[in-house]
Amino acid sequence: YKLLNNFFGAKLKGAFFLDAGNVWNVTANRVSSTYFDFSKIGSQIGIGTGAGFRYDVEYFVFRFDVGLKLKDPQFQGSDQWVIGKYLRGAKDFKDQYFITHSPERYRFVQYNFGIGMPF
């Protein structure tokens, strides 16, 4: 959608997105959860959504996006739908994640800055 025209000689635009996917190995390995198996694809896919701004200056496009995890395949079953935990106020979930994955903290929201188009 168009936000402003001719903003300092460029164009400021916005984007909404929904993304699904993962990274798999195509050969068997020690970590079976990373091996691509079409019969398990539903449980192996991550899903996220978000919004961002595009600042178009003739030769470059600067991007700033904010993404939110909806489904995280590192968990099992209905626990993969992390959006529910986020909407209910994620403090307990994040504290428990930190205990079991220290020093990593769980992030529901991801910020991204880029130059050029995302794909």
- pLDDT computed for residue 30 by the predictor: 67
Q: How many domains does the chain have?
A: 1
Residue span of the structural domain in which 25 resides: 2-115
Burial class of 69 by CB neighbour count within 10 A (0 to 12, 13 to 18, 19+):
buried
Q: Convert the pLDDT of each residue in 21-75 to its tens digit.
A: 988 877 776 666 677 778 888 888 999 999 999 888 878 889 999 999 999 998 9
Is residue 8 pLDDT above 90, yes or no? no
Q: Give 6's pLDDT tier (boundaries 50, 70, 90).
A: low
- pLDDT computed for residue 1 by the predictor: 44
**Residues sharing a CB contact under 8 Å with residue 18, sequence separation 6 or more, in sequence order:** 47, 48, 49
